[in-house]
């Protein structure tokens, strides 16, 4: 019964192998590559291809190469044949064998001759020859005798070495002396021959050479006494400079406080002569009495009684002035001894009181940053404009951002407080313009230090002013001209920020605000004319670098000149708002009496007139009208120079030229104004109007275009041979690149399968072993239970 199943299984296996071979050899799945011609030397690939053959070959190849590399990865126990020429396919086997044999013989020979010395040298040990010692002639009776012999032989060997070294030194000395004698003999022979070879120079030339030699020696000595270049001092960073400025101010403040408390201040033993900090003092050797000390002097400290100056003597590192310096040091030490030996001079009560009062009257050197605008006003109240500027400057230096963490935010707030304070100064009666002028540099310094904060502060001021003007325009339809504080803010904007940028976050809104004011604010009084002309001056300052055309500026100047025209019945030009051709407030600049021109003199337009203008009589009014007219003509001249390169220059300034030449009564004006009007109206016109050409312009000559045949799929034909070769190489590169990527993906998949198979085989093996262990444990448990039952029975 056991043999029948085995026969059945064998038959099944035979049947399966037959079916598999039949499937593999199916003629409908065999691929045959037929050839039309037989070409000698060409290898044919896959003449008859069976399905799956190429894939199995690729897998086998990867198993032989890639799989072996993967299995040998991170393993160092692999066999590497390091015999000579083993991996060199160009060498024949016979050559490899001969070369290996020669290298082996050479290696053996080197081993044998490693300690083979010259035969002439005799090796010794403790003075005895090794050859004689090998004969073993001496019979040693005891250990003591051998030790004594060794000591004696060692001493004899040392004496022999010393004698040999002394003899060699003597021989070398003899050889040196002989070489020296030979050299001296050769030198003597050469001198005797040289006299015959050298050409004798005449006596005149020898004399000139002797005269030139002292001159040369003098020049060499002068070069030795010339001033040597000294290394320049290292440039200091802004943080280091700020730290030094703060330390100096703190020292000065401590000195002022000591004097204010009544402490005596010792005078320096040597009077110091102060030098300007801008004096470079380079290239000059100062005499002993003319040496000055370079002192630190703060800007604005030049007033009388405003602080004391500290001086530090400038060191001179010239080598030829060391002796003078030493003598000066000795004299200084002597003077210090004398001053220390003298009794100290005590001040009387009156002098002490005067010193305290003077110290109290002095301006402090250190200040804290004010926390509000009211604190700033209290800090600056009662001080002169120069002292106010000095207070703000010292506040910046004592609270530099690099000195403490919170100083940056404090100084940023100080910029806004200063702007608010400047606006308040402008609204006072009368406006404190000199103080504003003094504070502008400190405002500029803060703007350079914190540009973003300054930009935001000015934007808020300009935005509030523009918003308020728009609200008034929506309600009334017209607005008043900006006040003096706003005009000063516009001027400060031009000083702090660039006006030539095409678009700027601060100056562009300011320019738009001025354009709106020149268009929407009506002119109803001479004070309005003054405000408008100030705005025109600011607008000219804004566009002077960029040469940007501002039509509101030209229209306002033309309207201002129209205010001086007496006869307004027939006009050859157009008047635009905010001016009227005729009616109320259209004759603001017409003179009431022509005799007022005789006493008129040209003056600048007062800025305070925008806030308050007080004219007592008609003569004062006519004088002020002429000032406004003169300012307007000057602005027109500047505009002509600014826009002279525009192609539409004639069209822009034609109304103004017509007004000045035909409608303005020039004879009633003073002589300086007549000259200005004549210069503008009779200026030569260098530009002509834009007109079409009478003839059609001749077109440029065109070349015949190159026609390239373009077929489908973007393939170009008719290109050069190099271009075709380049395209072929590109195509081949893409093809090879895709093939390499394909092979890399196949290799990755193959390795992934192998890794998975390894993991699965390890898991299966582990499961099998675990199953075997559990089975053995189960059998043991069963045997133990059976044994236990037997014992119970």
Reported as a single tens digit per residue, the pLDDT across 353-365 is 888 788 888 889 8
Q: Which residue has the higher pLDDT, 704 or 536?
A: 536
Nearest-10 Cα torsion for 82, 86, 89, 95: 130
Answer yes or no: is pLDDT of 234 > 60.
yes
Which of 715-743 are b and which e, b meaning 16 or more Cβ less than 10 Å from the residue's Cβ? Answer: eeeeeeeeeeeeeeeeeeeeeeeeeeeee
Per-residue confidence band for 707, with pLDDT thresholds at 50, 70 and 90:
confident
What are the tens digits of pLDDT across the range 46-59?
Answer: 455 555 556 777 88
Whole-angstrom Cα distance, residue 251 to residue 56?
94
Check residue 226 and give its pLDDT: 66
What DSSP state is assigned to residue 572? S
Per-residue confidence band for 653, with pLDDT thresholds at 50, 70 and 90:
confident
Number of other residues whose CB lies within 10 A of the CB of residue 495:
13
Q: Is 479 helix (H, G, I), strand (E, B) or coil?
A: coil
Residue that the structure tokens 């309600």 belong to: 475
Q: Token pair for residue 560? A: 């201002």
DSSP string across 255-297: HHHHHHHT---PPPSS---EE-TT----S----TTT--EEEE-
User: Of 386, 391, 401, nearest to 370 (Cα)?
Assistant: 391
Q: Token pair for residue 55? A: 């894939």
Rg (alpha carbons) of the chain, rounded to whole number? 56
Nearest-10 Cα torsion for 12, 13, 14, 20: 110
Q: Find the range with the poorest average confidence among 2-11, 277-286, 526-535, 686-695.
A: 277-286
Whole-angstrom Cα distance, residue 385 to residue 394?
14
Check residue 209 and give its pLDDT: 54
What DSSP state is assigned to residue 611? T
Report the pLDDT averaged over residues 566-570. Answer: 82
Q: Is the dihedral of CA 469, 475, 476, 478 positive or negative?
A: positive
Check residue 124 and give its pLDDT: 67
Q: Is 117 exposed, middle or buried (0-12, 13-18, 19+ CB in 10 A)?
A: exposed
Residue that the structure tokens 């000390």 belong to: 293
Q: Token pair for residue 444? A: 């500029």
Report the pLDDT averaged over residues 279-291. Answer: 39
Q: Where are the alpha helices (DSSP H) in 548-665?
A: 551-562, 618-642, 649-658
Q: Where are the alpha helices (DSSP H) in 643-720?
A: 649-658, 671-681
Q: Is the dihedral of CA 469, 472, 477, 482 positive or negative?
A: negative
Which of 589-613 are b and which e, b meaning 16 or more Cβ less than 10 Å from the residue's Cβ? Answer: bebeeeebbeebeeeebebebbbeb
Check residue 654 and give its pLDDT: 85
- pTM check: above 0.95: no
> With contact defined as beta carbons under 8 Å apart, do 650 and 687 qualify?
yes
Whole-angstrom Cα distance, residue 339 to residue 345?
11
Whole-angstrom Cα distance, residue 100 to residue 107?
11
Beta strands in 225-309 (DSSP E): 274-275, 293-296
Per-residue confidence band for 159, with pLDDT thresholds at 50, 70 and 90:
confident
Answer yes or no: is pLDDT of 235 > 70.
yes
Per-residue confidence band for 661, with pLDDT thresholds at 50, 70 and 90:
confident
Could you tell me the residue ranges of all domains in the chain? 512-682
Q: Which residue has the higher pLDDT, 536 or 125?
A: 536
> With contact defined as beta carbons under 8 Å apart, do 423 and 374 qualify?
no
> With contact defined as beta carbons under 8 Å apart, do 403 and 243 qualify?
yes
DSSP string across 305-317: TS---EEEEPP--
Q: Which residue has the higher pLDDT, 750 or 687?
A: 750
Q: What's the N-to-C CA distance of the chain in angstroms?
A: 40
Q: Is 124 helix (H, G, I), strand (E, B) or coil?
A: strand
User: Of 558, 578, 554, 582, nearest to 479 (Cα)?
Assistant: 578
Q: Is the dihedral of CA 746, 749, 751, 757 positive or negative?
A: negative
Mean pLDDT, all residues of the chain: 78
What are the tens digits of pLDDT across the range 481-524?
Answer: 999 999 999 999 999 999 999 999 999 999 999 999 999 999 99
Answer yes or no: is pLDDT of 745 > 50.
yes
What are the tens digits of pLDDT across the range 601-634?
Answer: 888 889 989 988 888 888 889 999 999 999 999 9
User: Of 483, 655, 679, nearest to 571 (Cα)?
Assistant: 655
Whole-angstrom Cα distance, residue 118 to residue 661?
125
Q: Is 42 helix (H, G, I), strand (E, B) or coil?
A: coil
């Amino acid at each position: 019964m056991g043999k029948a199943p085995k026969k059945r299984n064998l038959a099944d296996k035979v049947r399966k192998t037959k079916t598999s071979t039949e499937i593999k050899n199916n003629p409908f799945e065999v691929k045959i590559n037929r050839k039309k011609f037989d070409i000698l030397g060409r290898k044919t690939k896959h003449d008859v291809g069976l399905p799956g053959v190429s894939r199995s070959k690729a897998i086998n190849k990867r198993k032989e190469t890639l799989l072996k590399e993967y299995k040998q990865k991170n393993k160092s126990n692999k066999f590497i044949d390091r015999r000579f020429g083993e991996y060199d396919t160009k060498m024949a086997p016979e050559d490899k064998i001969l070369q290996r044999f020669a290298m082996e013989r050479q290696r053996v020979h080197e081993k044998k001759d490693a300690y083979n010395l010259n035969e002439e040298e005799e090796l010794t040990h403790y003075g005895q020859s090794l050859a004689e010692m090998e004969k073993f002639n001496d019979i040693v009776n005891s250990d003591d005798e051998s030790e004594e012999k060794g000591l004696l032989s060692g001493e004899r060997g040392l004496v022999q070495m010393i004698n040999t070294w002394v003899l060699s030194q003597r021989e070398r000395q003899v050889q040196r002396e002989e070489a020296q004698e030979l050299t001296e003999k050769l030198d003597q022979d050469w001198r005797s021959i040289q006299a015959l070879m050298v050409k004798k120079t005449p006596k005149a030339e020898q004399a000139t050479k002797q005269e030139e030699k002292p001159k040369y020696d003098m020049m060499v000595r002068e070069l030795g006494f010339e001033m040597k270049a000294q290394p320049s001092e290292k440039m200091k960073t802004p943080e280091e400079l700020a730290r030094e400025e703060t330390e100096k101010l703190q020292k000065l403040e401590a000195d002022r406080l000591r004097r204010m408390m009544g402490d005596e201040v010792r005078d320096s033993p040597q009077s110091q002569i102060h030098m300007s900090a801008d004096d470079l003092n380079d290239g000059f050797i100062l005499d002993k009495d003319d040496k000055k000390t370079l002192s630190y002097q703060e800007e604005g400290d030049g007033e009388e009684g405003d602080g004391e100056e500290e001086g530090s003597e400038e060191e001179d590192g010239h080598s030829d002035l060391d002796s003078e310096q030493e003598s000066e040091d000795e004299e200084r030490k002597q003077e210090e001894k004398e001053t220390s030996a003298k009794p100290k001079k005590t001040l009387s009560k009156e002098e002490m009181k005067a010193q305290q009062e003077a110290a109290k009257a002095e301006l402090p050197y250190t200040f804290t940053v004010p926390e509000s605008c009211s604190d700033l006003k209290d800090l600056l109240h009662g001080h002169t404009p120069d002292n106010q500027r000095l207070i703000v400057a010292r506040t910046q230096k004592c609270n530099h951002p690099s000195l403490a963490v919170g100083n940056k935010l404090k100084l940023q707030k100080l910029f806004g407080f200063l702007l608010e304070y400047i606006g308040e100064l402008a609204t006072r009666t009368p406006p404190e313009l000199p103080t504003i002028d003094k504070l502008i540099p400190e405002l500029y310094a803060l703007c350079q230090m914190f540009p973003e904060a300054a930009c935001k502060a000015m934007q808020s001021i300009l935005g509030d002013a523009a918003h308020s003007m728009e609200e008034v325009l929506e309600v009334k339809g017209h607005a008043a001209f900006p006040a003096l504080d706003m005009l000063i803010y516009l001027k400060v904007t031009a000083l702090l920020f660039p006006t030539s940028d095409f678009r700027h976050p601060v100056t562009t809104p300011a320019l738009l605000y001025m354009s709106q004011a020149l268009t929407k604010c009506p002119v109803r009084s001479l004070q309005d004319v003054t405000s408008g002309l100030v705005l025109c001056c600011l607008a000219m300052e804004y566009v002077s670098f960029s040469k940007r055309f501002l039509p509101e500026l030209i229209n306002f100047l033309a309207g201002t000149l129209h205010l001086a025209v007496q006869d307004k019945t027939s006009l050859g030009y157009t008047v635009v708002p905010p001016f009227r051709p005729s009616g109320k407030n259209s004759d603001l600049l017409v003179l009431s009496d022509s005799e007022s021109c005789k006493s008129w003199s040209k003056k600048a337009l007062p800025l305070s007139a925008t806030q308050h203008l007080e004219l007592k009589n008609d003569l004062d009014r006519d004088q002020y009208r002429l000032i406004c007219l003169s300012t307007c003509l000057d602005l027109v001249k500047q505009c002509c120079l600014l826009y002279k390169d525009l192609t539409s220059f004639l069209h822009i300034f034609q109304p103004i030229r017509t007004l000045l030449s035909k409608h303005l009564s020039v004879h009633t004006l003073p002589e300086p104004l007549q000259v200005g009007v004549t210069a503008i109206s009779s200026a030569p016109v260098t530009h002509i109007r834009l007109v079409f050409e009478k003839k059609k312009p001749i077109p440029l000559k065109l070349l015949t275009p190159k026609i390239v045949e373009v077929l489908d799929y973007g393939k170009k034909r008719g290109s050069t041979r190099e271009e075709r070769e380049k395209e072929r190489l590109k195509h081949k590169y893409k093809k090879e690149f895709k093939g390499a990527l394909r092979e890399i993906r196949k290799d990755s998949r193959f390795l992934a399968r192998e890794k998975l198979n390894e993991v699965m085989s390890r898991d299966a093996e582990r499961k099998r072993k675990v199953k075997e262990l559990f089975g053995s444990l189960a059998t043991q448990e069963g045997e133990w239970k059976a044994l236990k039952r037997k014992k119970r029975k």
